[in-house]
Structure 1
Amino acid sequence: MGDRVRAARRTILASARDESRGLPFADGVMRAVNQAVGFDGYCLFAVDPVTGLRCAMYAEHGLVVPTERLVFNETVERDFNRYAELIRRPGHAGVLAMHTTPEPPSPRLHEILRPLGYQSELRLALVDDGRYWGALSLFRDDRWQPFSDAEAATAAELVGPLATALRRHQVRRTDSRQATRSAGIVLVGREGRFLTVSQEAQTWLGDLTSEGVIVEDVSRVVHEVARAAAAGRRDALCRARTTDGRWLVISGSRTPVEPVAVTVVVQPADTGQVIPAFAAWSGLSHRESEVLGLAATGLAAKQIARRLGLSVLTVNDHLGSTYRKTGVSGRDELLALMS
């Protein structure tokens, strides 16, 4: 591992501890990536670690393409370096480029990237501790040489720190909270197009955006939930966090009333809905997650101990470990972080 990669890894992890919101977080992370591998544009996203569906987006000079087109390419078209493939591939990295021999028959390259002026893409699936946390796509235009296999190997050295950065940022502490609002509704047709987006849903999606990311980008979160629901998945949902720290749950269900295929609901999440993803992002053990779930209902340590067949001392040890992992000083602060 070279000095530039080591420096990039350190900077990424430092950015992960930055509790600033939106672009400042992504900007710091991506400046570090640029130390190791240069690029002209990027798209970085996090997924709900329980369902694997997108929950946060960060981008600069990304792909200004209708979201339905990107979803179709990722899920239906035959193409190279799909994220699902990279998750299983050693190194979790892949390059797609023009002017190679033979040139790849890639719809994404020729129909999406090239019209936007990009001639090369480097993708990373952010897999760490055996779990998929998100992904990063880097883009280059004609001023650069295409990404090389050597650069892909260099970028692969950043997978662990990038995954850690995304995890920490999803459970960051925030200072400001706005008043909550009612649920929003998105009606999705059979071809994946949004038929109706309520004002509440539009506003909630706007709260997921940050400087450099537009609502069209964030709508990918809704598209993925809708597609999972259309496929019959019972866990067609993701937990997402607004830029000011409020938790949302975005869930989809089949709606067999033409022309609607799926109804997606965007609404504030309760603590019980947040805990599974929060526990995974925070690196809690199975037992720590159980204790946290019961603590969130208001049970005292003695009651939790009785419920789980543990000693009070053991319960308090699990709570103490959870406080350390989440960077809080006690139960009230922990519960506030999930509300």
Structure 2
Amino acid sequence: MHAREAPVGQLAAMAQEAVTVPELGALVSNEVAQWVPHEGYMLVGIDPLTGAGCFYAGQNGYSAAAVRLIARTDAAGGDAHRYSALIHGPRPVGVLSLGSSRYRDSRRLNEVMIAGGYGSEMRLVLKHRGLGWGALVLVRGLGDRPFSEDEAGHAARLSEPLALALKGFMAGRTLRPARPGRPPGVFVVAADGSVVGETESARHWLAEAAPMNMLVTCPARLDESLWCISVMAQHAARPVLSRIPAPTGWMALSAEPIAGSGRVAVVVRPATADMLLPTMAVLHGITDRERTVIEQLLTGLSAKQIARRLRMSPHTVNGHLKAIYRKIGVTGRDELMATFMS
């Protein structure tokens, strides 16, 4: 393993250079293939603060219908190696293969994998400091050898380096709200995953992410993203938010159950400053105190006024501001304000 650790160590830097999500997916797949050869892969970026998907890339992966079934069974908690169990469990990887007596009744094995021509699946959650940054699913065809325990061990050791790669990719996106120019878009998603209503601006908003993100450039993947966040909101019985990086800035995809209808309203709009600040904090290592200073700065207060309000010395506030500017990569207050307010 040690002879190959150098390329993995460079992966986060390489990921920052990727322009599109498909480029990132190909980079991750090629790197992982050194230890775990696979026929197909599916890479999902996850909003680390909410657990909702925010981008997708894949090749030779599951169909849209299969993804819907997986989302439903995962939310219900009734199948092997659920993402939530892997994120919070002692090991970030799980293998499901044809011939495994332990999981012979798995719906995913019988209705997704075997039906789709796959004989073995490896699920890996990408974790760093207790946060889930993504998930990688690798598959092999029927008749191919199943993923081994040794390969699962290699994958487990790649969880954090790959999480840092996804974090680096997201940190490299332009940190500002997506440009408006149209009203927020609204989709209404039925319990079966079908879109039963949408405003005129809805699909135009998601097209803002093209050509960077396969989640929205492929109509089937768009429907999957709406379905997955809808299932998540319905299961949680509360609103669910995902922040999505796009070429012109960050967008927000939020889902909320419509009471008594079994349907979910999904709203697509530019991410607000309140939405971006928590994301920026985890992406750039902003401390709680620094975040408080930014919150006050965004209200229009001067450094002296912030010092009085937070009972700090002006010297301490200016020290926090310098650290914030350095971490985010801006030159000063005006550029920071423009980042959030553009």
TMscore range, shorter length: 0.7 to 0.9
Q: Are 1:86 and 2:89 counterparts?
A: no
Bigger Cα displacement from structure 2, 154-163 vs 306-315: 306-315
Where 1:181 maps in the other structure, the secondary structure is: coil
Within 5 Å, give how 1:166-315 maps onto structure 2: 166-174=166-174, 180-208=181-209, 210=212, 213=215, 214-231=218-235, 233-242=237-246, 244-256=247-259, 258=261, 261-315=263-317
CA distance in structure 1 between the aligned counterparts of 2:122 and 2:76, rounded to whole angstroms: 20
Q: 2:163 is aligned with what amino acid? A: A
Q: Number of aligned pairs?
A: 336
Where 2:204 maps in the other structure, the secondary structure is: helix
Query: Against the structure 1 CA distance between its residues 166 and 333, is the aligned structure 2 distance closer, same or farther, given a 3 Å change threshold?
Result: farther
Q: Are 1:153 and 2:182 counterparts?
A: no
The aligned counterpart of 2:323 is 321
CA distance in structure 2 between the aligned counterparts of 1:101 and 1:226, rounded to whole angstroms: 33
Q: How big is each residue's C-alpha offset from its partner over 1:239-268, in whole Å with a ceiling of 9 and x where there is no partner? A: 2122x142212222332475x622111111
Contact 1:205 1:215 in 2 (8 A): no
CA distance in structure 1 between the aligned counterparts of 2:33 and 2:273, rounded to whole angstroms: 37
Post-superposition offset of 1:330: 3.2
CA distance in structure 2 between the aligned counterparts of 1:247 and 1:226, rounded to whole angstroms: 20
- 5+ residue gaps in structure 1? none
Within 5 Å, give how 1:26-175 maps onto structure 2: 26-66=25-65, 67-76=67-76, 78-101=78-101, 104-142=104-142, 144-174=144-174
Where 1:146 maps in the other structure, the secondary structure is: coil
Aligned sequence identity (%): 34
Contact 1:53 1:221 in 2 (8 A): no
Where 1:248 maps in the other structure, the secondary structure is: strand
Contact 1:167 1:282 in 2 (8 A): no
Instruction: Note the aligned Cα RMSD (angstroms).
Output: 2.7
Q: 1:197 is aligned with what amino acid? A: E
Post-superposition offset of 1:233: 4.5
Query: Against the structure 1 CA distance between its residues 336 and 152, is the aligned structure 2 distance closer, same or farther, given a 3 Å change threshold?
Result: farther
CA distance in structure 1 between the aligned counterparts of 2:337 and 2:119, rounded to whole angstroms: 47
Contact 2:187 2:195 in 1 (8 A): yes
Contact 1:180 1:268 in 2 (8 A): no
CA distance in structure 2 between the aligned counterparts of 1:186 and 1:170, rounded to whole angstroms: 26
Post-superposition offset of 1:14: 2.3
Where 1:124 maps in the other structure, the secondary structure is: strand
CA distance in structure 1 between the aligned counterparts of 2:226 and 2:280, rounded to whole angstroms: 20
Bigger Cα displacement from structure 2, 42-51 vs 216-225: 216-225
Contact 1:122 1:137 in 2 (8 A): yes
The aligned counterpart of 1:17 is 16
CA distance in structure 1 between the aligned counterparts of 2:290 and 2:336, rounded to whole angstroms: 13
Query: Against the structure 1 CA distance between its residues 105 and 57, is the aligned structure 2 distance closer, same or farther, given a 3 Å change threshold?
Result: same
Where 1:190 maps in the other structure, the secondary structure is: coil
Contact 2:119 2:140 in 1 (8 A): yes
Query: Against the structure 1 CA distance between its residues 299 and 7, is the aligned structure 2 distance closer, same or farther, given a 3 Å change threshold?
Result: same
Post-superposition offset of 1:184: 0.8
Q: How big is each residue's C-alpha offset from its partner over 1:281-335, in whole Å with a ceiling of 9 and x where there is no partner? A: 2222111211222223333222222222222222222222223333333344444
Contact 1:41 1:61 in 2 (8 A): yes
Query: Against the structure 1 CA distance between its residues 65 and 291, is the aligned structure 2 distance closer, same or farther, given a 3 Å change threshold?
Result: same
Q: 1:223 is aligned with what amino acid? A: W
Where 2:64 maps in the other structure, the secondary structure is: coil
CA distance in structure 2 between the aligned counterparts of 1:235 and 1:202, rounded to whole angstroms: 21
Post-superposition offset of 1:169: 1.9
Contact 2:55 2:214 in 1 (8 A): no
Bigger Cα displacement from structure 2, 219-228 vs 302-311: 219-228
Relative to the length of structure 2, the TM-score reads 0.87
Query: Against the structure 1 CA distance between its residues 194 and 23, is the aligned structure 2 distance closer, same or farther, given a 3 Å change threshold?
Result: same
- 5+ residue gaps in structure 2? none
Where 1:36 maps in the other structure, the secondary structure is: coil
Where 2:274 maps in the other structure, the secondary structure is: helix
CA distance in structure 2 between the aligned counterparts of 1:236 and 1:145, rounded to whole angstroms: 39
Bigger Cα displacement from structure 2, 134-143 vs 204-213: 204-213
Where 1:17 maps in the other structure, the secondary structure is: helix
